[in-house]
């Protein structure tokens, strides 16, 4: 059906490559390109079957991306490099007439602030070029936004309260490690909290609001309100929402390490001089922390991510909880990565499948909740991320 170019050969890129290769009727030709070609080669070999071509590319360079796209001529790029590369990849797509999909919104390297304004500004350009850009197609953002769209389509006339709950109850046996790119992860969890209430954003100190929440098959875990990017598009696309929050679980040990990292300045994004060389502390820290892609081998336990929703159906109040639990061990057995990479890479592949099947094609720049959730939800069940629904339950929130 189509030619796909995957950019980024980290944990998520590994899963995308495996899953794309598992669906040959949709993805007829596959190229995996990243900064370090040897990583692409290793993934292609692990997938096997000689189906994946590889290439080296610096995705910060539009001319390099353009040269690669012109020679391979993909119909769609799946961007699973870092958020810093979103705009250069979108520029190259426009220049070459290629459609675009990613899992994380653009962040400038020198400002730890993620918001959609930079990518939404490309709307007219993609519309005029007749190209589709699908933003935020991982798990959160991604599946959580599609869960919300599915709830709005099938179970609610009006969604009023949305709480996205993200629990990782896994144990990788390390004192401290992040489950995806450490730089992006630490930037995300150390910033101030923010949630939407009555038409405006309410800011909190980092980790100020917290409470134990019960997760299916896991039990109670302390959960913290943090800001997460899908809130921005969801409150725009579902204007009946009165309050939208994002909760994430953290262990005490993890938070203690984070506090120390911040207190000693290792989370800083300001460059410093060290022995005559300019280094960015958080980038140096990334170099000494465990590689998230290597955590899988002894990782046990599950993730549980879902949406807890309160709203109106036929004039009556209703509560609804939709979630997926994913096992680190099962993810490792299938793809050699842990469940956080798995739960991001599988939806990215499904979004690309929706595009190639012609189900999610709309010129412009769109967040995933703007598309029909039904065919995507069907594929989640088939591609390794089954979901469950609970009606009229105590949401604890």
User: Which residues in this chain contact ligand NDP in the complex, by CB under 6 A?
Assistant: 8-13, 34-36, 39, 57-60, 80-83, 85, 103-104, 138-142, 180-181, 184, 292-293, 340-341, 344
Q: How far is CA 214 from CA 105, 200, 391, in A?
A: 29, 28, 16
Of the two residues 99 and 178, which places its CB atom closer to ligand NDP in the complex? 178
How far apart are CB 135 and ligand NDP at their closest, in Å? Answer: 10
CA distance 172 to 376: 30
- Half-sphere exposure in the Cβ direction for 308 (13 Å, CA): 19
How far apart are CB 239 and ligand NDP at their closest, in Å? Answer: 23
Do residues 63 and 333 make contact, with C-beta atoms less than 8 angstroms apart? no
How far apart are CB 391 and ligand NDP at their closest, in Å? Answer: 26
How far apart are CB 314 and ligand NDP at their closest, in Å? Answer: 33
Q: How far is CA 279 from CA 8, 240, 261, 285, in A?
A: 23, 46, 16, 10
Of the two residues 138 and 336, which places its CB atom closer to ligand NDP in the complex? 138
Please identify the residue of the shown chain whose CB is closest to the bound ligand NDP: 10
Q: How many CB atoms lie within 10 A of CB 125?
A: 16
How far apart are CB 316 and ligand NDP at their closest, in Å? Answer: 33
How far apart are CB 323 and ligand NDP at their closest, in Å? Answer: 14
Of the two residues 181 and 223, which places its CB atom closer to ligand NDP in the complex? 181
Pull the structure tokens for residue 224: 């913290």
Q: How far is CA 138 from CA 78, 280, 290, in A?
A: 11, 28, 22
Of the two residues 119 and 156, which places its CB atom closer to ligand NDP in the complex? 119
Do residues 48 and 22 make contact, with C-beta atoms less than 8 angstroms apart? no
Beta bridge mates, 384: none
E strands in 10-69: 27-34, 52-56
Of the two residues 110 and 208, which places its CB atom closer to ligand NDP in the complex? 110
Of the two residues 74 and 141, which places its CB atom closer to ligand NDP in the complex? 141
CA distance 312 to 169: 32
CA distance 194 to 201: 6
Of the two residues 57 and 235, which places its CB atom closer to ligand NDP in the complex? 57
How far apart are CB 1 and ligand NDP at their closest, in Å? Answer: 24
Of the two residues 5 and 152, which places its CB atom closer to ligand NDP in the complex? 5
How far apart are CB 224 and ligand NDP at their closest, in Å? Answer: 17
Of the two residues 8 and 336, which places its CB atom closer to ligand NDP in the complex? 8
Measured distance between the N- and C-terminal CA atoms of the chain, rounded to whole angstroms? 45
Do residues 295 and 338 make contact, with C-beta atoms less than 8 angstroms apart? yes
How far apart are CB 336 and ligand NDP at their closest, in Å? Answer: 13
How far apart are CB 157 and ligand NDP at their closest, in Å? Answer: 29
Q: How far is CA 170 from CA 35, 60, 306, 340, in A?
A: 30, 34, 16, 10
Q: Which of 344, 358, 337 is nearest to 76 (CA)?
A: 358
Of the two residues 52 and 104, which places its CB atom closer to ligand NDP in the complex? 104
CA 307 to chain centre: 15
């Amino acid at each position: 059906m189509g030619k796909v170019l995957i950019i980024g050969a980290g944990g998520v890129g590994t899963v995308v490559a495996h899953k794309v290769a598992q669906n040959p009727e949709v993805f007829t030709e596959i190229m995996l390109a990243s900064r370090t070609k040897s990583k692409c080669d290793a993934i292609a070999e692990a997938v096997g079957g000689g189906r994946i071509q590889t290439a080296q590319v610096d995705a910060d360079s539009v001319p390099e991306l353009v040269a690669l796209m012109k020679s391979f001529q993909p119909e769609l790029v799946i961007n699973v490099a870092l958020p810093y590369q979103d705009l250069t990849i979108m520029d190259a797509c426009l220049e070459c007439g290629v459609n675009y999909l990613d899992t994380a919104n653009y962040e400038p390297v020198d400002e730890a602030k993620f918001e959609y304004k930079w990518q939404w500004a490309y709307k007219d350009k993609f519309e005029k070029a007749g190209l589709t850009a699908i933003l935020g197609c991982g798990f959160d953002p991604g599946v959580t936004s599609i869960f919300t769209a599915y709830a709005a389509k099938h179970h609610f006339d009006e969604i009023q309260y949305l709480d996205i709950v993200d629990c990782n109850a896994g144990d990788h046996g390390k004192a401290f490690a992040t489950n995806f790119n450490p730089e992006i992860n630490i930037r995300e969890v150390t910033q101030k909290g923010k949630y939407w209430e009555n038409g405006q954003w309410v800011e909190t100190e980092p980790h100020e609001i917290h409470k134990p929440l019960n997760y299916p098959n896991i039990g109670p875990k302390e959960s913290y309100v943090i800001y997460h990017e899908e809130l921005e598009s969801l409150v725009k696309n579902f204007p009946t929402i009165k309050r939208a929050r994002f909760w994430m679980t953290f262990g005490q040990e993890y938070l203690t390490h984070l506090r120390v990292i911040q207190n000693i300045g290792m989370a800083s994004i300001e460059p410093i001089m060290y022995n005559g060389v300019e280094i960015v502390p958080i980038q140096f820290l990334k170099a000494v922390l465990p590689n998230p892609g290597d955590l899988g081998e002894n990782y046990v336990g599950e993730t549980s991510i879902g949406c807890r929703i309160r709203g109106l159906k036929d004039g009556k109040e209703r509560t609804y909880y939709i979630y997926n639990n994913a096992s680190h061990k099962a993810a490792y057995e299938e793809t050699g990565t842990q469940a956080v990479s798995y739960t991001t890479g599988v939806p990215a592949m499904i979004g690309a499948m929706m595009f190639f099947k012609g189900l999610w094609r709309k010129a412009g720049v769109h967040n995933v909740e703007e598309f029909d959730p039904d065919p995507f939800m069907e594929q989640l069940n088939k591609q390794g991320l089954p979901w469950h629904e609970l009606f009229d339950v105590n949401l604890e929130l």
